[in-house]
Amino acid sequence: MHVNRVRRAHKRAAAGLAACVLLGAAMTAAGPATAAPQQQPQTAQRAPGAAAPDCSPAYRIEQTLDGGTTWRMCWHYDKYAGVTLDKITYQPKGEPKPIPVLNSARLGQIHVPYDDGEFEYDDLTGYGFAEDLQTLKPGECPGGTIKTVKVPRRGNVKGLCTTTRARGHAYRMSPEGRPSKVWQAQGKDLLIYAVNKTSWYEYITEWRFSSDGTIASNVGATGSLSPDDYDGTDGRGWPIGKGASDYAESHSHNVFWRLDFGLDGSTQSKVEQYDSQVTRGSGAPKTKTTRTPVTQELAGDAKGMRWWRVVSGAGTNKDGHPRSYEIAPGHTDKHPGREYTNHDVYFTQYKKCEKYATHNNVPGCGPKSVDKWVNGQTLKHPITWVNIGFHHIARDEDQQPMPVHWQGFTLAPRDVTAMNPLTPDDLADENGRP
């Protein structure tokens, strides 16, 4: 990847300078489920009091899933981050109006350092990630719609898929003493994805919105191993091909996401950290969970029995509990080589120019990376940054083409609704102690 990246970087740097003159200041974990034929997403029939997203029809996504849940949002294409989802709302069955969840959600950076220390890339802001949006074939978006995206310096590309996918059981329950009675439902997701090519790699960026209110984002890397990087000896690569003469060089993909929550229509959310401590004694072990309000900017490190949530400052569910979303990072290979990749999650106070987690290329914005933005400010409008790393040590199966390897995170609804939003009608009165 070295030689090709360097050559293309020089070409893109010149093109980028020209574009800046022309454009001026104008101008986001488990792997995917197997695709199943679905009905094409279409504009949902709106519930009473439900408003359409505040954007033109071409940039609007609205889908009602099995169980009655409706997701609504707008989208636009950022010149560096690519597909950006805006004004995301969630309306489960029984809610009189949509619940605002996120003001925006997109990638924040893809940082790629090589194990030999010779090359290091920031694919979004330093290597034209958004420019190489790939055209999708109909077979890549089964049962869905491929939207046209206006890409800077390229024009229109049919490159954004919106469809639905089955995801297996949403729930299953057989009551004690009544084995013949089973409540079960199969879940379904709204799936939104695009593919961006960066040198030999192709990145699949997907967002999943589930019928139970869960949001998940994953980036899948595929494409091809670079033919110019087979010099990874001395423990910095893996033999590929016959014998042990060609060693594909190992490297990391550190993916950042930027999330701007707007729960219940307010940016003044609160952040909380939870830690559970297990103690051993003469009897069974005991566990105690403590809550720590995060009132100032934080560079957070994941560990066992630790989690964070973003809490609404403006609304509660029907039980009177504040709505929130729990941040659940997927598996990560944390990269200690840079301070900004040495933490799993960041919470920073909103600043308009702080757009990309590394190599932030906005003039006059001060420090260039998210770790330096954590400087003690009080969180009044928190921005969440999630960092998930993958250390790619190649294997024979990576040829050819390379199987997709996924990395990502989940946002789990916590007290957004008073009960499971998919609860069947004959269990609707079982809220609280039986």
Q: What is the DSSP letter of 21?
A: H
CA atoms within 13 A on the CB side of 341: 24
Reading the block at residue 249, the tokens are: 């060089």
CA atoms within 13 A on the CB side of 146: 16
CA atoms of 388 and 155, how far apart (whole Å): 32
Considering only the top CATH level, what class is 2-266+386-424? mainly beta
CB-based contact 27:201 (threshold 8 Å): no
What is residue 138's three-state secondary structure? helix
Q: What is the DSSP letter of 340?
A: G
Q: What are the two backbone dihedrals, phi and then psi, of residue 20, each rounded to the nearest 5 degrees?
A: -65, -35
Q: Which helix (H) or strand (E) holds 126?
A: helix 123-126
Per-domain residue ranges of the chain: 2-266+386-424
What is residue 327's three-state secondary structure? strand
Q: What is the pLDDT along the chain (434 residues), one digit of tens a residue?
A: 444 454 334 333 434 433 333 333 333 333 333 333 344 444 444 444 456 678 999 999 999 999 999 999 999 999 999 999 999 999 999 899 999 999 999 999 999 999 999 999 999 999 999 999 999 999 999 999 999 999 988 999 999 999 999 999 999 999 887 778 999 999 999 999 999 999 899 999 999 999 999 999 999 999 998 888 888 888 899 989 899 889 999 999 999 999 999 999 999 999 999 999 999 989 999 999 999 999 999 999 999 999 999 999 999 999 999 999 999 999 999 999 999 999 999 999 999 999 999 999 999 999 999 999 999 999 999 999 999 999 999 999 999 899 999 999 999 999 999 999 999 999 999 999 87
Q: Which residue has the tokens 């050819």?
A: 400
CA atoms of 143 and 231, how far apart (whole Å): 44
Amino acid at 319: D
pTM: 0.88
CA atoms of 1 and 227, how far apart (whole Å): 7
| Cα–Cα distances in angstroms (integers) from residue 50 to residues 95, 100, 158, 164, 428, in the given order | 10, 11, 29, 21, 23
Largest CA distance in the chain: 74
